[in-house]
Structure formats: C-alpha cells, structure tokens
C-alpha cells in the first residue's frame, strides 16, 4: 500500500496511508536521531506526550507510550498458555527488544534468540528505549544476533529447536516480504518442535484483510494445523487497530487461558486473551 511521510514545519510527524485516506500523526515532535542503515532509514523523534517515537522508512514502529499494546499481545497470547518447562523462543525482527522483554518475563523460557537483520536497530533503541532493551541485554537467557531471519530458519542445524517463533517484522514489503510466504513458513515448521507455535504481525484488520487471509492460507499450506487471527487496539499504527496471526504445528491454539500464568502486564490478561480471539463480523468468511 502506498504511504508517504510528511514532516510539517510545525514539528509534526505524519505517516499517511494514502490508499485508505487516513494516517497517524504526532505533534509536536523534534527529531533526535536520523541515519541510513544498510537496510532502511532509521529516525527517532521526541514527542511531547508519548515519549520517543521510532520510525523506519517513514513507518511508525513504536512509541514509548503505547508499544506495550502490540508487544504484550504478540507474545503473551502464545506464551501464557504454554506451561511447559525449558521453553526455547525465537524472535525474528523485533530489534527494539520490546517483544523479547515480554518473552523473558516467563521463568520457563530457558533460551531466547532475537534475530534482527539490521544491526543498527538495537543500538539506536538502546539509547531511546532503555526500558525495553536493558532488561533484555542483561538477561543471560537472551542472545541477540544481527542476521536475516529468513536464512536463520533455513539452517539444518536448527531443526526442532524452538517452541515458539515470534515474527515482529515491518510491513510485508521489501526485505520483510519473504517473512509472510509459504516457503518461510515451511522452514519455520522445520525449526519448530512438534507442538511448536508461530505468531506474526498481520497489519490492520480494517485495511489488510486480504493480506491476513493470504498469510493464514500460507500457514496452512506450509502444514500448520490450526490458524487464528487476534485483534487489538494500537493507536501508534494507521487505523489504530492491529492484528497478529497465530499458527500451531500440532495442537489447537488456546483461545482461553483461565488459570494460566500471566506475568505483570499493562494491557494483557485472561479476559483480554479470550476477547482478542473473537472474530468480528466483517472478518468472518
């Protein structure tokens, strides 16, 4: 979808989603960081009311104020129902460490790998989002590598290595496109344990329904047995309403978690879990 950024003279930042006639704007902002990494333009703005705002290639990635909505929903909906010992988790993308921080809240997570393609993302985020990065970097269970996640899951040595894969990617364009395709999901099947699960961000339910349907189809084609899309509010992203799609290799996905362990959170809890799986009328096929 075509998008364009406007940075107004008055110090506002807008991510405009032209095809939908809507955008998301922050004002007032001042730019505190700007660089071109090997993969993208990385910018950070200081906002008056939402802390820092990180923007990659003109797209809002996260704010200090609201990133928890996205990160908690991406992580806890798959980890909370999993009471198994010694879990091994892979985060693909997610260089801001926000997903990883939620993952490490589980005592039963034994190892967690974060595989972010762009080696500039974590150093920049360490500076502006220390609340996300510091607990991850100091945790001995976490390993952060700068590599292409698509290649990472292709590796034969990683067969049946992970219980959970969390794909915290940018939009399905350019370098991230392959993270939504059938061959990537087939490789994820290989590196997942027999009852493993995967979750990926799938955009706005209002604007990306076709994409969500396609991704779900690709997951099933790759051999996943159960697929479900969750929805949740996210004012940082266009439309203010976001989704993630979950795939389970063997068992069915837990739509209810009554009695399961829930770590300290700001948004997610057992009731939110169940509600996130409710399928709005416009999303039913």
**Binding residues vs ligand AG3 (CB under 6 A):** 15, 59-62, 94, 96, 98-99, 168, 170-171, 201, 237-238
**Do you know the residue count of the chain?**
285
Backbone φ and ψ for 23, nearest 5 degrees, come out as: -155, -175
Rounded to the nearest whole angstrom, what is the least distance from the CB of residue 74 to ligand AG3 in the complex? 8
- Those residues with Cβ within 8 angstroms of residue 200's Cβ, 6 or more apart along the chain or in another chain: 166, 167, 169, 179, 180, 215, 244, 245
Return the closest-CA partner of residue 35 out of 119, 153, 135.
119
Q: Which is nearer to ligand AG3, 19 or 250 (CB)?
A: 19
DSSP state letter for 237: S
CB 162 within 8 A of CB 110: no
Rounded to the nearest whole angstrom, what is the least distance from the CB of residue 183 to ligand AG3 in the complex? 22
Q: Which is nearer to ligand AG3, 13 or 249 (CB)?
A: 13
Segment holding 150, helix H or strand E? helix 149-152
Return the closest-CA partner of residue 244 out of 137, 84, 93, 31.
93
Q: Which is nearer to ligand AG3, 119 or 226 (CB)?
A: 119
Rounded to the nearest whole angstrom, what is the least distance from the CB of residue 250 to ligand AG3 in the complex? 27
Q: Which is nearer to ligand AG3, 70 or 152 (CB)?
A: 70
Rounded to the nearest whole angstrom, what is the least distance from the CB of residue 211 to ligand AG3 in the complex? 12
Q: Which is nearer to ligand AG3, 72 or 168 (CB)?
A: 168
Question: Which residues does the annotation mark as catalytic?
Answer: 168
Rounded to the nearest whole angstrom, what is the least distance from the CB of residue 124 to ligand AG3 in the complex? 13
Return the closest-CA partner of residue 276 out of 2, 18, 78, 25.
78
Q: What CA–CA distances, in Å, run from 116 to 24, 63, 90, 123, 265?
A: 26, 19, 11, 12, 24
């Amino acid at each position: 979808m075509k998008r364009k950024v406007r940075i107004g003279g008055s110090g506002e930042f807008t991510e405009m989603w032209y095809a939908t006639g809507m955008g998301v704007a922050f004002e007032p902002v001042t730019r505190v960081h700007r660089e071109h990494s090997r993969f993208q333009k990385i910018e950070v703005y200081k906002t008056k009311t939402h802390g820092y705002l990180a923007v990659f290639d003109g797209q809002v990635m996260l704010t200090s104020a609201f990133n928890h909505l996205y990160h908690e929903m991406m992580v806890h909906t798959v980890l909370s129902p999993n009471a198994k010992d010694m879990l091994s988790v892979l985060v693909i993308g997610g260089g801001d460490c926000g997903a990883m921080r939620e993952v490490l809240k589980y005592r039963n997570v034994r190892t967690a790998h974060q595989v972010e393609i762009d080696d500039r993302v974590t150093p920049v985020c360490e500076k502006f989002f220390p609340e996300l990065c510091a607990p991850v970097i100091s945790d001995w269970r976490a390993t952060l590598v700068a590599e292409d996640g698509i290649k990472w899951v292709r590796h034969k040595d990683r067969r049946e290595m992970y219980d959970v894969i969390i794909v915290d990617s940018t939009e399905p364009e350019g370098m991230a496109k392959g993270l939504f395709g059938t061959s990537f999901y087939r490789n994820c099947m290989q590196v997942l344990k027999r009852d493993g699960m995967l979750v990926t961000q799938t955009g706005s339910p209002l604007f990306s329904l076709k994409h969500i349907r396609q991704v779900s189809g690709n997951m099933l084609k790759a051999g996943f047995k159960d697929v479900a899309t969750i929805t949740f509010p996210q004012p940082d992203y266009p439309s203010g309403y976001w989704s993630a799609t979950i795939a389970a290799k063997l068992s069915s996905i837990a739509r209810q978690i009554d009695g399961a362990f829930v770590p300290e959170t700001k948004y997610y809890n057992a009731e939110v879990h169940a509600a996130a799986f409710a399928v709005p009328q416009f999303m039913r096929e």
